[in-house]
Amino acid sequence: MAQRVFKVANTRNELNGLKMEQLRETLKGHHLRTTTCREDVLSAFINKKNALSHGDLEGALGESYDRVTIYRTLKTFLEKGIIHKVLDDEGLRYALCSHQCSEEKHQHDHIHFKCNGCGKTNCLENLHIPNVALPQGYQPTSFNLLIQGTCPECVMK
């Protein structure tokens, strides 16, 4: 039990100046009730600064929440425009949305980069997916572009 409390408290303490009140305001701004799980999941995304899988969140949050609770929180965050899906070679991950996203409109036409060294997947918000001319009759609903290589941190090692 002590280890579980430490992991969640550690996640909350690593907010780098972002106060819990700001987390609550983010949730409130997306018309969500504040719960401890939602606060902890949101703070995990802020602390890690890269895309996280469901398993990554389970590891970060310890045994504080069961798989279904974390899954439901992710689903709600997706629906409300707080996070977006990131597909990489290991499966589905999630990343924080930019401030422009809402329940009605997600803005995710950027490139994702997965480092072969550390395994982290990051959003490259300033690099947009180029226009692709699809054959007649095809109607795109979403785009996902993943580039793999070495991140600046791993290059420096």
pLDDT value, residue 131: 86
Paired tokens of 135: 């054959």
Distance CA 65, CA 5 (A): 11
CA angle 54–77–107, rounded 5-degree value: 105
pLDDT value, residue 134: 93
pLDDT value, residue 24: 87
What is the CATH classification number for the domain harbouring 71?
A: 1.10.10.10
> Pick the residue with more confidence: 93 or 22?
93
pLDDT value, residue 3: 33
Query: Looking at the predicted structure, is the pLDDT value of residue 1 above 50?
Result: no
Do 39 and 20 touch, CB atoms closer than 8 A? yes
pLDDT tens per residue across span 27-83: 998 899 999 999 999 999 988 889 999 999 999 998 899 999 999 999 999 999 999
Using only C-alpha atoms, the chain has a radius of gyration, in whole angstroms, of 17
pLDDT tens per residue across span 146-156: 999 999 999 99
Distance CA 32, CA 126 (A): 29
Say what the pTM is. Answer: 0.79
* Strands 91-96 and 110-115, sheet pairing: unpaired
Give me the domain span that covers residue 84: 2-98+106-155
pLDDT value, residue 8: 44
pLDDT tens per residue across span 84-117: 999 988 899 999 987 666 666 666 778 999 999 9
Q: Report the number of distinct structural domains present in the chain.
A: 1
Query: Helix, strand or coil for residue 67?
Result: helix
DSSP, res 134: P
pLDDT value, residue 2: 31
